[in-house]
Amino acid sequence: MRRFLVAALLLIGVPAAHATLLQRFEIEDLARHSEAVAVVRVLEVKAAWEDDAMIRTRVRLGVERVIAGRAPREVTVVIAGGTVGEASATVGGMPAFAAGERMVVFLEPRKSGGMHVVGAFQGAFRLVTEAETGMPLAVREAAKGAAFYGVEEEDDGARSLYLDELEARVREVRR
Amino acid sequence: MKRAIVLALVLAPAPVLAYEFIQRGGNSMRWPNAAIDYYQEVTAAPAGIPAVVDQAFDTWDLLPSITVSFTKVGQQAGGLNRGFTADGVNVVSYGDANAELPTGVLAATVDFDAGTHGCPDGTCSTITESDIVFNDGVDFTDSEGASLSAGCIPQVTGRFDAEAVALHEIGHLLGLQHPAGQTYETAIMFPSISDCDPNRTNPRQDDIDGVTFMYSSGTAAAYPGFTVGQPMGYPPHTVSFTDTSTGSITSYDWDFGDGGTSTATDPTHEFTAVGSYTVRLTLNGTTSSEVNDAVVVVARPEPDFSADVVAGDPPLTVNFSNSTPNATQLDFSWSFGDGGTSIQRNATHTYDAVGYYTVQLEADAGPGPITMTKTKYIKVGNPAEETLIPGCECRVAHRRPSLGSALLALAALALVRRRR
């Protein structure tokens, strides 16, 4: 079945783009919509053609610490799109993961298995160490292929804040 | 020729393009044919929303400057793939059977690409299919103006305008990407769509330039636009409209929102009733620009006031009570006649000097102040009287005798009589 679909796609074309309209979420909104907020390490990132003729990326995350809610020791986030060989399907605004990175993710259950990142790219922050202070920073890069609805000012979605502040804002909502 | 235009745009001093195309392998993605069919899969569609989406397709379709046209082939519940399935059919669906859209995603569009096959000059990448998915977890029932009437606070309603979202997503279907900048005004494809933009359900010039560049029909695009001379006033309120449209224009059709219409280029219209009016200008019978709340006519205020005391010796403290109807919706300005002023609704003022004072209260509902004047309303001490002399455009000031001065006069009179 999958082989048939991939053959069909070669005739029809591959999904390339990828434009997504988002509701802008701040930390509090993300926390409110999440089942769990956790510090995780990315264990594996794997994209594949699936039976419904769509490329999806499945990201295995090892949960190091739960900030709010409940999460098992390992979760799988499923993202629409990805790259398989020369075929690439990009759905705008989806979060990007790289194996080995530490991140903070806002998670919600996905109806057909696995987890979603709440607010698409908005709910995934890379953890880096600030050079000057040595403090952990949660960093979110600008959206790619996504736009915000209901926003007055120009906003590319990029954010950077100390992990302490992020956790405090989550707990303020989830206590 | 197209290459030359692209180069000119890239090399021009203004670095930011006001429209951009979805790229694939360095080429812009576009449809090879003029006719694009689409289906609506309405299994999880909120009531009324598919019709709004059709309207958004029509809006793009009616642009005379482009060759592309949309045809709705069918609308059904079931029997079509929902979501981003490469099946050769362009489908707008609601909710996603495969749950690809997390919370916070309103809608997404995926264009499928077959490389440069079918591309006329080899510089584009052919779109073979496009699917639009609306997130069924989102309330799309916000019609135009609902958030505006809520005070224009973005997302205050928690609802979203399906037409604005559809228009934006169909732009992606056509191959438009979010532009990095803007030339004229915020485009429908701009990375941020404002709830407070009353014109968010019309393609703007930047959008039209983008699709015209890709799918030009050879007809110069007409871009409707106008300015409103006096957007706010009291009834009857006469407003002049100035056309700022560009392009090839053969006709003007104005709809003033109160039943009045005009075919003039720069019309003037009198609004007789209180209300908020949406004004629409349609060019050539097709391309429209609509501005919600373009003219707002508010009830004329009727300022009035009283004072707890109107006469007394200095220092005289007077409490002024504002009895203007609907006072909470108005701005006020007091002028107490001695140089003192206040913008309080109810005011207190102390008069230190003897005199008559004329008090004014201005009430403003937005368009401008309406004034109530009470002449010589406050009397402090025994000020000089003013008497109008008949037949003379002049006044004579004199003092009313006080009790002391009267007694003094009587004593002087008695002294004179005794001497006699």
Give the integer Cα–Cα distance in Å for B17 and B167.
20
Please give the pLDDT value at position B92.
94
Concatenated DSSP letters for A46-109?
EEEEETTTEEEEEEEEEEEEEEEE---SEEEEEEEEEEETTEEEE-TT-----TT-EEEEEEEE
Chain B residue whose CA is closest to A35 = B103
B257 closest CA partner among B231, B234, B224: B231
pTM: 0.64
> How many residues are there in chain B?
420
Cis before B267 (ω within 30)? no
Instruction: Pick from A83, A149, A152, A153 the residue to mutate for testing the B interface (most B CBs within 10 Å).
Output: A149
Q: Apex CA A20: angle with CA A14 and CA A26, to 5°?
A: 145
CA nearest to A9 within chain B: B86
For the segment A32-88, what is each residue's pLDDT rounded down to a tens digit? Answer: 999 999 999 999 999 998 877 778 899 999 999 999 999 999 999 999 888 887 677
Distance CA B230, CA B238 (A): 8
The Cα of B267 is separated from the nearest Cα of chain A by a number of Å equal to 32
For the beta carbon of residue B240, count every other beta carbon within 10 angstroms.
12
pLDDT digits (tens, 9 = 90+) for A108-144: 999 888 999 999 999 999 999 999 999 999 999 888 7
Mean pLDDT of B15-42: 76
Per-residue pLDDT tens over the stretch B286-341:
667 777 778 999 999 999 999 999 999 999 999 999 999 999 889 999 999 999 99
Position A84 scores a pLDDT of 81
Which of B84, B113, B194 is nearest residue A151 as measured by Cβ atoms? B194
B185-214 per-position pLDDT tens digit: 567 888 777 665 666 677 877 888 888 888
CA-CA-CA-CA torsion sign (B81, B85, B91, B94): positive
> Does A107 score more than 60 pLDDT?
yes
Q: How far apart are CA A139 and CA A149, in angstroms?
A: 22
B386 and chain A: CB distance < 8 Å anywhere?
Answer: no
Q: Which residues does chain B have within 8 Å of residue A118's beta carbon, measured at their own beta carbons?
A: 102-104
Q: Which of residues 127-156 of B touch A (CB under 8 A)?
A: 127-129, 138, 147, 154-155
Q: Which of A20, A108, A110 to mutate to test the interface with B (most CBs of B within 10 A)?
A: A20
Partner-chain contact B113 A119, CB within 8 Å: no
A-chain residues within 8 Å CB-CB of B177? 17, 19, 145
Of B29, B87, B194, the CB nearest to A152: B194
| B107 close contact with A: CB closer than 8 A | yes
Strand extents, DSSP E, B339-390: 341-342, 347-351, 355-364, 369-380, 385-388
Preceding omega of B315 cis (within 30 degrees of 0): yes
A44 neighbors B113 (Cβ within 8 angstroms): no
- Minimal Cβ distance to A120: which of B105, B147, B196: B105
Complex confidence, ipTM: 0.83
Q: Which residues contact A110 (CB under 8 A, 6 or more apart)?
A: A78, A116, B99, B102
- The minimal CB distance from B106 to the residues A21, A52, A108 is found for A21
Query: Which residues in chain B are closer than 8 Å to A108, comparing Cβ atoms?
Result: 102-103
Amino acid at site B387: T
CB of A154 within 8 Å of any CB in chain B? yes
> A20 CA to chain B: closest CA distance, Å?
4
Contact B105 A13 (CB under 8 A): no
Q: Chain B: nearest CA to A132, how far in angstroms?
A: 32
Burial of A172 (0-12, 13-18, 19+ CB in 10 A): exposed
Q: Which of residues 399-418 of B touch A (CB under 8 A)?
A: none
Locate the chain B residue with the closest alpha carbon to A52.
B85
The dihedral sign for the CA sequence B350, B352, B356, B362: negative
What pLDDT does A152 receive?
66
Using a 10 angstrom Cβ sphere, with 0-12 exposed, 13-18 middle and 19 or more buried, the burial of residue B417 is: exposed
